[in-house]
Structure 1
């Protein structure tokens, strides 16, 4: 309902909302009143050119949270097509960007969890359906799979691989990503223990 109000170019009545969302007008009014009480919608008397009681109309306020993510999806696509795809080193560039991203997320915590479980939690907060078992992360849902073009998806995957390593490195983990297997539905990341190169005298 809030998304409908945010997309509207003019105030909407209870009947408009009820018809658009397939609700009884009493249900629509109830939820609209709740949005008003929360500060996410504004109620006012609509102007009419006919006699009779003018209807109440509703608009979303600037304080309302953004419900749709089309603007974010398009922003990602524009940034990738303009600055990443044309680069000769597009994949290393994507992975390094992801590494910085993951490191920044881990650095925001006082004691970041070096275990894969902590990493899985952060990925879940970012829209990934993530499970971890036996040193492996499985992604049953990716928020980008259907939102970016097939040509851009491998670059996004490279960025996510970098995120894994950046988070683990910043959290003090000895693990590094061994492989990120991108499947048609489920993706899997396996990890190996990083062994520092021996110093030579």
Structure 2
């Protein structure tokens, strides 16, 4: 953790340990830093949603003092462990009568949500560019699209659920295929996902595109 991050953590801990709002001067004095440094870290905590500004009671004429207090909430800066959640959800899908179909349906719902209210310019190229960018945002590390004639393809160099492929590979790939098909259907564009080939090469999955009239 960098020195500014360590100092900011100290400021936040001071706010949490104090019963009421504290001033910039109090923070600076207790931590032995310049008031400008204290102000910088306090304002950064406010922007990050960890602290709130409050107005104090003026001791006399003039503006009320600016005070800060910790926002009472769970720490959003802590570590995450979504892999456990993903494993639990995959296990639950695996108990369906037809796990592959259930995964495809889940992927289609995901794709509909992704494409909801998306506006893409008419034409093949804007739709393919959007699909590439969507795959990039979701962590698939897509290659540049290749289009020839009435078809095309996009290679995927990364799987965001790679750790689950060993135990639930068929379901994970069906989930992704449903996502891609539904997302493109939601665009009403002249491009459709014709299929997803898992590990077309050892280091690459392949999305096949169909260009329509």
* TM-score class, shorter: 0.5 to 0.7
Q: Which moved more, 1:170-179 or 1:154-163?
A: 170-179
**Which string of whole-angstrom CA distances, capped at 9 and with x for unpartnered residues, describes residues 83-112 of structure 1?**
x10112111111121112112211231347
Gaps of 5+ in 2: 7-11, 14-40, 52-69, 147-151
The 3 A distance-change label for structure 1 pair 178 and 152 is: closer
Residues 165 and 172 in structure 2, CA contact (< 8 A), matched pair in contact too: no
Instruction: Give TM-score scaled by structure 2 length.
Output: 0.57
Instruction: Give TM-score scaled by structure 1 length.
Output: 0.60
1:86 equivalent among 92, 95, 100: 95
1:131 equivalent among 143, 162, 171: 143
The 3 A distance-change label for structure 1 pair 184 and 40 is: farther
Structure with max Cα Rg:
2
**Count of aligned pairs between the two proteins:** 157
Give RMSD over aligned pairs: 3.7
Aligned twin of 1:101: 110
**Which string of whole-angstrom CA distances, capped at 9 and with x for unpartnered residues, describes residues 118-162 of structure 1?**
11111111112012322111111122113x251213211111011
The 3 A distance-change label for structure 1 pair 179 and 75 is: closer
Aligned twin of 2:35: none
Aligned twin of 2:197: 180
Is 1:169 aligned to residue 185 of structure 2? yes
The 3 A distance-change label for structure 1 pair 110 and 156 is: same
